[in-house]
Chain A
């Protein structure tokens, strides 16, 4: 700790020198910010570029609103695997010289939105062109990024180590806290100015969208966005990534294709409707350039009524594509270029089986740990069955974590062990299923209604397994039937 007495002349000199240094750094950041290229590079885009010859109908869907807005259509369209649509222009010299216009369109939006809702989203993006947002937008964005970088620099360099509380440790120089505070205040000013401007641009672009697609459809399209985003995140997390621990992935055409199936699943419609009705569920972000969806919807609904009907079509914008299956496959393959290396593409049911077996094994973990603790070494399910035969089940039950119910019952009593047995039985079932899955005797079928899938077990095996669980759960437990079911092919070495 540096006390006041220590911080004398040499320290002051250090601080002055540091002030010069910091000013130089900030100057560099600003100057570099002016001259740095604001180009978005083709190779940075995770997506597939589609030409007008590939997808004439899609290009016409973009061209038509461009004409209505009175702006130049983009010269490049990328299809990307995100819930996103964006335009940008690689303008030159602070946006004074026009550059190439590009547009990215998220495949999930094409799959989820009706054609008219899709038009509304496109019109919103072109609305940015119409108001000349994009040419200066890149500069605006760059200013925000530079300032954020300067703030980060002022706060001290990350050392890559972490403090005891898990927060990253920063290399701090004396007096840095004060400089950082000044910088933060400046940054807040810059950000709030650019943010206000960028939010104004969004509202203006929404008015363009409402003018082209109709007020009701534009609002409905906005409502759809958080719902699609939540559904797509759920889909990636629970379906695509489910087999990743076993190096399994869906086939390229299914990586995105499955999302269409999930959206079409009848039993998911209520959940989706709830997401649409509650756009407030969106997490607010102070530095987001977009206003909250609910504010944007409110602004559209506050416009004078245009009398145009809500688009209630069952069609989806993806039908615009000339070969949607090939496109889904191409974008899906591009998506997996980085994360899919070394992973094997399999069908959904194989993926569901791998995920189901992992889930079953994991849910049996507390029991596996109790059995390992009893034997002082890891054992398969047969270890539990051996302990039951030898009359040691009680000792394993005593090693299980105490449930709420177990704490209500007199501890150490037979009643308490019976309550513990109730906690144990689902774990025994899961453990048995994991072993049966490893033997290929149990599979899971993929289900778009239930991410856990539907278990596939032969009726006679199911019946025997139930009977074996009952025998094991009896007050006088019998491990014999479970041994016969799971180890019909012998105990693995």
Chain B
């Protein structure tokens, strides 16, 4: 076989493997999921300022206001001060979720220009933070190559570049894990890479096991795993449901894992017709999941990286379930930030966010402006 044949092989292999499994992954984890509900704008609109909400022009494509440690870390990157970066990491200590969030933020700073990160890695080849951030950057670069399009709309050379870049990532995760054996971060980074590289279920369970043995309630790791176990990827309805039950039931209040059930509903359970959808959102299953998520949020520390994520999911589901006063209150707490799921799963995240927000406010108006709940989680 000549070197001519070589370059197309990985993609052909990937295509075969998909065919064998009889499905094409839609890469919903990076935002390709078709919103299962109508995106038609509501017939009425609101003036956000009249309700103490920021107007669309002031909205920010971020999950929430950046954490002070993230701000400090990014400032250190600007100064190319790797010592200061490590000082920030040390401040986070064994708050593994915070550490993962910091590594993700560092990787994001290399999206346009990775020279500072490669220089850091060249100077400190065994630095677990540099290694993990570099692996995370390879992963996000690969998924940017793939784009969030449906698999059939991704061109052959995109697939090739996706796999070529992504295949370079695992070694850095494993290296980081070897030099920082207590830190689950490299394993969490590896989860998304493993999903892109189509690791089989047992391989994936091993990686997830490495995470939860170090950080049993790591919310990002659980959300990533739920993606993997969806039928559109490498799981099934049964595997996804049992994973959600395992992840959410019997966990301490404040773990912030309860929104996984909402995430699962959003991806897999929403009915096709408007009438069925209304029944579903108002039905006991969703109501119970919302109640559990609200109780979880109330018990959680507000500085957890997953705290805003939980709020975004609740804002969406409270609105859809017709619990407008709670929904409105949730949107007040969220403020200007819309850069998280479920909004970013839409092709127009800001439009999706303001549309649902308007629905919540109008619903609250139509209900005669009932009093807003006092205790729904701490305001930000």
Which A residues contact B (CB, under 8 angstroms)? 403-406, 408-410, 413-415, 418-419, 421-423, 425-426, 429-430, 432-433, 455, 457, 462, 465-466, 469, 473-476
Contacts and interface: CB of A to CB of B under 8 A. Distances in A.
B2 A405 contact: no
Contacts of A476: 118
B112 A462 contact: no
A413 B113 CA distance: 9
A486 to B, nearest CB: 12
Contact of B114 (A414, A423, A429): A414
Nearest to A404: B155
A430 B3 CA distance: 8
B367 to A, nearest CB: 43
Interface string B153-167: 111111011001100
B154 A430 contact: no
A469 B4 CA distance: 11
A26 to B, nearest CB: 60
B138 interface: yes
A410 B160 CA distance: 17
Nearest to A442: B2
Contact of B154 (A408, A432, A433): A408
Contacts of B158: 405, 408-409, 419, 422
B155 A410 contact: no
Contacts of A413: 111-112, 144
A410 B114 CA distance: 17
Given A406-B157, A469-B6, 20 more contacts: A405-B155, A405-B157, A408-B147, A408-B154, A409-B144, A410-B144, A414-B111, A414-B112, A418-B164, A418-B165, A419-B158, A423-B157, A429-B4, A429-B6, A457-B2, A465-B3, A466-B3, A469-B3, A474-B168, A475-B114
B164 A409 contact: no
Contacts of A430: 4
What 4 A-B pairs come out closest when comparing CB atoms? A405-B155, A415-B144, A405-B157, A405-B158
Contacts of A455: 2, 4
B344 to A, nearest CB: 16
B3 A433 contact: yes
**Size bin of chain B's contact surface:** 20 to 34
A381 to B, nearest CB: 14
Given A403-B155, A409-B147, A474-B168, A426 B141 contact: no
Interface string B326-366: 00000000000000000000000000000000000000000
B242 interface: no
Interface string B100-128: 00000000000110100010000000000
Contacts of A405: 154-158, 161
Contacts of A419: 145, 157-158, 161
A455 B114 CA distance: 39
Nearest to A406: B157
21 contacts: A405-B156, A405-B157, A405-B161, A408-B153, A408-B154, A409-B147, A413-B111, A414-B112, A414-B144, A415-B141, A415-B161, A418-B145, A419-B158, A419-B161, A421-B161, A422-B157, A426-B7, A429-B7, A433-B3, A475-B138, A475-B165
Contacts of A473: 164
Given A404-B157, A413-B112, A422 B147 contact: no
B154 A422 contact: no
B378 interface: no
A387 to B, nearest CB: 17
Nearest to B6: A466
A429 B145 CA distance: 22
Residue with the greatest number of chain A CB neighbours at <10 A, chosen from B114, B147, B164: B164
Contacts of A429: 3-4, 6-7
B141 A475 contact: yes
A398 B163 CA distance: 21
A414 B149 CA distance: 18
Contacts of B4: 426, 429-430, 433, 455
Interface in B181-222: none
Contacts of B164: 418, 421-422, 473
Interface string B135-179: 000100100110101000111111011001100100000000000
Interface string B72-93: 0000000000000000000000
A466 B7 CA distance: 10
A472 to B, nearest CB: 11
Interface string B1-16: 0111011000000000
Contacts of A457: 2-3
A430 B2 CA distance: 10
Nearest to A360: B4
A457 B5 CA distance: 14
Contacts of A465: 3
A326 B261 CA distance: 83
A425 B6 CA distance: 10
Contacts of B6: 429, 466, 469
A262 to B, nearest CB: 22
Nearest to B11: A422
Contacts of A404: 155, 157
A428 B336 CA distance: 49
Interface in B1-57: 2-4, 6-7
A444 to B, nearest CB: 9
A409 B114 CA distance: 18
B141 A414 contact: yes
Contacts of A406: 157
A426 B165 CA distance: 16
A71 to B, nearest CB: 57
B143 to A, nearest CB: 9
Contacts of A418: 141, 145, 161, 164-165
Contacts of B145: 409, 415, 418-419
A482 to B, nearest CB: 12
A404 to B, nearest CB: 5
Nearest to B147: A408
Interface string B217-244: 0000000000000000000000000000
A406 B161 CA distance: 10
A408 B149 contact: yes
A400 to B, nearest CB: 11
A350 B94 CA distance: 67
A469 B3 CA distance: 9
B168 A403 contact: no
A280 B3 CA distance: 39
Nearest to B169: A475
B260 to A, nearest CB: 29
Contacts of A466: 3, 6
Contacts of A474: 168
A92 to B, nearest CB: 62
A403 B157 CA distance: 8
Contacts of A410: 144
Contacts of A414: 111-112, 114, 141, 144
A362 B161 CA distance: 23
A465 B2 CA distance: 10
A132 to B, nearest CB: 59
B31 to A, nearest CB: 14
A105 B266 CA distance: 75
A413 B114 CA distance: 11
Contact of A422 (B2, B111, B161, B168): B161
A37 B161 CA distance: 69
Residue with the greatest number of chain B CB neighbours at <10 A, chosen from A403, A473, A475: A475
Nearest to A457: B2
A241 B240 CA distance: 61
